[in-house]
């Protein structure tokens, strides 16, 4: 039975939900700005950088990704560091990794959070100053950031 009290309570709940601030989203421009901030304005060249990720992630809270550059670690254009960027998360930086002389390959795997279906961008910097880049789209069923999680 819908009476006036129930209706107002319901409307109040909807309003309360509406004013809860949801996290903003980055845009591709923010990701590009973050890349420039980390690597400067150098152009990108083609290179063997790959992002391995599932095409469909059922939870955005933990998406397994591997970023890899197939280059020997003793070459003059070996990879020194790489950054992973998001085009749609509230913050465009995901992580930055640098590889020391003891690393066997310029590759690292971890789990990241994704705010819904989007492209992620990996930029790698080589020892000779060149930048290489890969872009990868991942579809995400449930976003990590917009689930208003209570502690139950």
Partner 1 sequence: MRALAVLLLLAAPALAEEPVSGYDFLLPETQALQDDDFANPGLLWVDRGAAIWAAEGCADCHGAAEESMRGVGAHYPVWSEAHGRILTLDQQIDLCRTERLGLEPLPRGAEEMTALDAYVMHQSRGLPVAVALDHPELAAASARGEDYYRTPRGQLDLSCANCHVENAGRRLRGEVLSQGQANGFPIYRQLWQDIGSLDRMIRWCHESVRAAPPADDDPVWTDLELYLRARGNGLTVETPAVRR
Partner 2 sequence: MFNTRIRVPESAAAGEAVEIRAMIMHPMDNGFTYSTQGTLIPVNIITDFTCRYLGEVVVQVRLEPGISANPIFTFSLRASESGPVEFEWIDQNGDVTTASAELAVT
- Asked whether the beta carbons of 79 and 101 are under 8 A apart, the reply is no
Q: Strand 44-45 vs strand 131-140: parallel, antiparallel, or unpaired?
A: parallel
Phi, psi of 10 (to 5 degrees): -65, -45
CA 145 centroid distance within chain = 12
Binding partner 2 by CB under 8 A: which of 61, 117, 119, 130? 61
* Burial of residue 121, with CB atoms counted within 10 A of its CB: 0-12 exposed, 13-18 middle, 19 or more buried: buried
Would you tell me how many other CB atoms lie within 10 Å of the CB of residue 144? 21
Q: Is 117 in the site for partner 1 (CB under 8 A)?
A: no
Shortest Å, Cβ 114 to partner 2: 8
Q: Is 99 in the site for partner 2 (CB under 8 A)?
A: yes
Q: Is 62 in the site for partner 1 (CB under 8 A)?
A: yes
Q: Is 149 in the site for partner 2 (CB under 8 A)?
A: yes
* Helical (H) or strand (E) element with 81: strand 79-86
- Asked whether the beta carbons of 84 and 34 are under 8 A apart, the reply is no
Instruction: Say which entry of partner 1, partner 2, none residue 57 contacts (CB below 5 to 8 A, set by partner kind).
Output: partner 1
As a whole number of Å, the end-to-end CA separation of the chain is 30
Binding partner 1 by CB under 8 A: which of 56, 75, 96, 127? 56
**Stretch of 20-28, 32-40, 56-64, 72-80 contacting partner 1, by CB under 8 A:** 56-64
Instruction: Say which entry of partner 2, partner 1, none residue 45 contacts (CB below 5 to 8 A, set by partner kind).
Output: none
State which residue, 17 or 127, has the beta carbon closest to partner 1: 17
Site of interaction with partner 1 (CB under 8 A) = 54-59, 61-62, 64, 141-142, 147, 149-152
């Amino acid at each position: 039975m819908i009476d006036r009290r129930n209706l107002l309570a319901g409307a109040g709940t909807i309003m309360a939900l509406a004013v809860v601030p949801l996290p903003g989203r980055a845009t591709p421009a923010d990701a590009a700005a973050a890349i420039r901030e980390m690597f400067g304005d150098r152009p990108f060249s083609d290179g063997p950088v790959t992002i391995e990720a599932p095409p469909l992630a059922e939870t955005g809270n933990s998406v397994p990704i591997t970023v890899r550059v197939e280059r020997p670690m003793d070459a003059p254009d070996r990879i020194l560091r790489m950054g992973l960027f998001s085009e749609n998360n509230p913050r465009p930086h995901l992580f930055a990794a640098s590889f020391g002389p003891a690393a066997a390959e310029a590759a690292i795997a971890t789990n990241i959070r994704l705010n819904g279906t989007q492209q992620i961008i990996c930029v790698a910097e080589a020892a000779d100053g060149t930048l290489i880049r890969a872009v990868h789209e991942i579809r995400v069923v449930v976003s990590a950031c917009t689930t208003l999680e209570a502690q139950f």
